[in-house]
């Protein structure tokens, strides 16, 4: 799908999509539907792709959240004919526009986590450049029906992120507002390594003329738990952080960090009713 029309909607390196791997998608619909006002529809049934199996990732570790850093890359799996990576998933909409996906977790050993996807016009090419820059490709690019092509990768510190080459779904239809993606923060233990890696991959998206950045990074210091590995934290826009915390708790979630001020807004870190962490951002 190199150079697909949908992939041109977002410049390479711009966060363009997010999904949550959840044990119970129906419970996720209830939680996020009430929290953010999302509505949901299933992804269309599509032909089964042939390619690297999303169920047999190129990493022996489960990709994803602060509890599951990546591990060394293993040989690529053989080709397969299997279900789409988004089989059984639902697309979340806000005001009629796509904002995220909720995906059934295929394996109980996999983390329950929100993943950010960076746009690319050519997922295969970007995967090669990630390896050259010292990162890992966890799941090689695989078609998601007509919607696009996805892959999972990890940076040199094993923070996991996704690649999205848009097809009929270029990415977010709505962002940077209440109830939608507004920022993603990388928690890194070596900011020099992170800066070198992501600048090499996504220089124009980070520093190009007229850039509106929605991707930052912070140093993991001794103030954080020693066992917390580098990871990405997805932020959703809200009108009032404090006001929404009660709703999070009432719906079965919990507050990890009460509201605090950052250079990009006021932030609270929470988990949903199944353990997926995310942040609320009041700009």
Ranges of the chain whose pLDDT falls below 50 = 1-7, 46-82
Positive/negative CA dihedral, 46, 48, 23, 58: negative
Q: Please say whether the beta carbons of 127 and 81 come within 8 A.
A: no
Count CB atoms within 10 A of the CB of residue 139: 24
Check residue 219 and give its pLDDT. 86
Check residue 136 and give its pLDDT. 96
- 3-class secondary structure, 161: strand
From CA 268, how far away is CA 280, in angstroms rounded? 5
Count CB atoms within 10 A of the CB of residue 32: 25
Check residue 50 and give its pLDDT. 36
Task: Compute CA 148 distance to the chain's CA centroid, rounded to the nearest angstrom.
Answer: 15
From CA 66, how far away is CA 233, in angstroms rounded? 9
Q: How far is CA 43 from CA 19, 145, 215, 281, in A?
A: 13, 9, 27, 28
Q: Please say whether the beta carbons of 259 and 267 come within 8 A.
A: yes
Check residue 178 and give its pLDDT. 95
Structure token pair of residue 16: 């363009």
The DSSP bridge partners found for residue 235 are 183, 279
- 3-class secondary structure, 48: coil
Backbone angles phi, psi at 190, to 5 degrees: -130, 95
């Amino acid at each position: 799908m190199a150079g697909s029309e949908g992939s041109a909607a977002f410049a390479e390196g711009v966060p363009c999509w997010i999904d949550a791997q959840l044990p119970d998608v129906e419970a996720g619909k209830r939680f996020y539907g009430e929290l953010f006002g999302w509505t949901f529809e299933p992804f269309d049934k599509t032909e089964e792709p042939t390619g690297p199996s999303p169920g047999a990732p190129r990493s022996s570790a489960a990709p994803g959240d602060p509890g599951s850093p990546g591990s060394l890359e293993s040989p690529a799996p053989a080709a397969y004919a299997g279900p789409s990576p988004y089989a059984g998933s639902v697309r979340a909409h806000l005001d009629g526009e796509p904002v995220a996906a909720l995906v059934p977790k295929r394996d109980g050993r996999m983390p329950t986590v929100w993943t950010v996807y960076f746009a690319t016009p050519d997922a295969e090419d970007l995967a090669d450049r990630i390896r050259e820059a010292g990162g890992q490709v966890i799941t090689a690019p695989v078609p998601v029906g007509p919607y696009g092509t996805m892959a999972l990768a990890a940076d040199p510190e094993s923070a996991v992120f996704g690649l999205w080459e848009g097809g009929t779904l270029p990415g977010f239809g709505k962002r940077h507002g209440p109830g939608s993606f507004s920022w993603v923060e990388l928690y890194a233990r070596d900011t020099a390594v992170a800066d070198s890696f992501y600048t090499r991959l996504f220089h124009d998206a980070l520093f190009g003329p007229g850039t509106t950045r929605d991707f930052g990074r912070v140093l993991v210091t001794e103030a954080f738990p020693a066992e917390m590995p580098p990871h990405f934290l997805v932020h959703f826009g809200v009108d009032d952080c404090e006001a929404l915390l009660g709703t999070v708790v009432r719906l079965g979630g919990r507050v990890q960090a009460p509201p605090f001020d950052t250079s990009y807004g006021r932030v609270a870190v929470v988990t949903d009713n199944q353990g997926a962490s995310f942040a609320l951002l009041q700009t």
